[in-house]
C-alpha cells in the first residue's frame, strides 16, 4: 500500500483494535508477502521466514488491544526483524546445546565407564563378603601385586593354603559375575 493510504491504514488499525476480523484479514493479505520478503532477507530460509511472519501476525491479533501502532508498515517490519533475530538467537543457542551434548561415541564411552565402575563396585562388594583369610590373600595378590611367596610370609600360610584361598576367591567372583550376566 502506498503511503498515501495512511488514513486508510489508521482506520484498519482502529478496526483491528476493536476486534474486527475482516480488518485483520486485510492487514494479513496486504502485508504477508512484504513481511515474508523481510523475513527471508534475514533468514535465507523460506520456512523460517513463513514461521516468523505467521508468529508476528498471530501476536498482532492476540495483542490487538495492547499494541500502540503509529505506522502499520514500520510496526510490522520491526516486529518481523525482531522475531527473526529472536529466532536466530534461539536457533544458535539450540545448536550450542546440541554441540555440548556428548556424541554417540562419547556416550558409548561414558556407558562403558559406568559399566566398569558398576563392575568394580560389585566385585568389591563380593570381596568384602569373603571369609577374612580368603579376602586378605586375594587383596594382597590382586590389589597389592604380592607374589604367592610374599603372601605366605605376610599371612603366615603355606603355599598350598595361599593357592587354595586364591582359587576360592576367583571361583566365588566368577560365579557371582556369571549370575549378574544372566539377569
What does the pLDDT look like over 68-84, one tens digit per residue?
888 888 899 999 999 99
Question: For position 4, what pLDDT does the model report?
Answer: 52
- pLDDT of residue 104 exceeding 60: no
Residue 181 pLDDT: 67
The answer to whether 57 and 23 have CB atoms below 8 angstroms apart is: no
- Helix, strand, coil percent content, the chain, rounded in steps of 5: 85, 0, 15
Q: Which three cell numbers stand for residue 67?
A: 499494541
Instruction: Report how far apart the first and last C-alpha atoms of the chain are (Å, whole number).
Output: 73
Of 56, 10, 3, nearest in space to 32 by CA: 56
- Per-residue pLDDT of 151-165, as tens digits, reads 999 989 999 999 999
Number of neighbouring beta carbons within 10 Å of residue 50: 16
Q: What is the CA radius of gyration of the chain?
A: 37
Of the listed ranges 35-44, 98-107, 137-146, the one predicted with least confidence: 98-107
Taking Cα atoms as reference points, which of 11, 18, 32 lies closest to residue 61? Answer: 18
Express each pLDDT in 128-149 by its tens digit: 888 989 999 999 998 889 999 9
Q: What percent of the chain has pLDDT over 90?
A: 37
Domains of the chain (ranges, CATH numbers)? 3-100 (1.10.1740.10), 104-182 (1.10.10.10)
Answer yes or no: is pLDDT of 169 > 80.
Answer: yes
Residue that the C-alpha cell 480488518 belongs to: 23
Amino acid at each position: 500500500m502506498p503511503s498515501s493510504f495512511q488514513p486508510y491504514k489508521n482506520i484498519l488499525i482502529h478496526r483491528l483494535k476493536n476486534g474486527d476480523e475482516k480488518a485483520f484479514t486485510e492487514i494479513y493479505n496486504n502485508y504477508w508477502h512484504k513481511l515474508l520478503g523481510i523475513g527471508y532477507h534475514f533468514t535465507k530460509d523460506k520456512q523460517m521466514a513463513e514461521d516468523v511472519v505467521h508468529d508476528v501476525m498471530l501476536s498482532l491479533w492476540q495483542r490487538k488491544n495492547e499494541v500502540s501502532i503509529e505506522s502499520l508498515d514500520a510496526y510490522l517490519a520491526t516486529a518481523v526483524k525482531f522475531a527473526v533475530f529472536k529466532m536466530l538467537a534461539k536457533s544458535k543457542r539450540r545448536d550450542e546445546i546440541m554441540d555440548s551434548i556428548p556424541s554417540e561415541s562419547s556416550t558409548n564411552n561414558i556407558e562403558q565407564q559406568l559399566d566398569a565402575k558398576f563392575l568394580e563396585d560389585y566385585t568389591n562388594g563380593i570381596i568384602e563378603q569373603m571369609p577374612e583369610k580368603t579376602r586378605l590373600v586375594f587383596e594382597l595378590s590382586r590389589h597389592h601385586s604380592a607374589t604367592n611367596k610374599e603372601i605366605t610370609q605376610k599371612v603366615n600360610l603355606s603355599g598350598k593354603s595361599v593357592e587354595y584361598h586364591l582359587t576360592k576367591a576367583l571361583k566365588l567372583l566368577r560365579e557371582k559375575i556369571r549370575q549378574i550376566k544372566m539377569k
